[in-house]
A = this chain, B = another copy of it.
Amino acid sequence: MLSKNEIKDIQSLRHKKFREDTKLFVAEGPKIIGELLTLFPQQFKKVYGLKEWVEENNRLTSKVEYEIISETELERLSQLQTPNEVIAVLHHFESNEPALQKELVLYLDAIQDPGNFGSIIRIADWFGIKHLICSEGCADLYNIKVVQASMASIAKVNVFYDVGLQWLKKQNLPKYAATLDGESVYSTSRKDQGVLIIGNESKGVQRSIMEMIDQQITIPRFGEAESLNAAVATGIILSHLLKK
């Protein structure tokens, strides 16, 4: 049985302050935990699983510290509406300022919705983007909604955090921004290198960044919706820019 203190420690990771102090975070559910255990067992501090999950996954849990918990304990630990078999506490990933090569990277300008942010990490991983640069206003990388939406991609993309404009300024690379009135994504050429900037969900790309932009890129609209979700727009633009 879990001690009160251990439960409290895990619950405190719902707060950004505690995640930053401890350099820990929480992931939940068999899918993301299974994939992270397979690829990055060294990241795990401890896994808490229902008996059935632990028995089915003994090959994975052999590599890490784990404990069997009850349904009631899982409910107390979980941040999800529907707790799902297993929860784990992991160490933050190392994140380094990337020395950019001939490659395309993403720069997120204050992406605030954690679901969008996590989804963009997964999209970056799908398209082979290795570095994702986040401005100061972005959601917290270790927010449970970011983690869950990223699936295991959170471990595979280098997310470099809390950079300001000075980072962007010093990059001697072409800069592209996703906007509503730029060049059609259908007519832009393939981009092997550069920084693609995705703006805030409601405000778009901020003006001080727009002044540095070499090219604005737009997804043509054939219907009436006012905008596209930031993650969906990122996926569409990347699929066209990286077309082989």
Contacts and interface: CB of A to CB of B under 8 A. Distances in A.
B244 A126 contact: no
Interface in A108-147: 115, 119, 122-129
A221 B226 CA distance: 29
A224 B156 contact: yes
Contact of A129 (B124, B125, B156, B223): B223
Contact of A123 (B119, B149, B232): B232
A126 B223 contact: yes
Interface residues of A, number: 39
Interface string A141-168: 0000000010111001000000000000
A225 interface: yes
Contacts of A128: 221-224
Given A122-B228, A186-B243, A223 B127 contact: yes
A219 B240 CA distance: 11
B229 A186 contact: no
Interface of A: 35, 115, 119, 122-129, 149, 151-153, 156, 185-186, 219-229, 231-233, 235-236, 239-240, 242-244
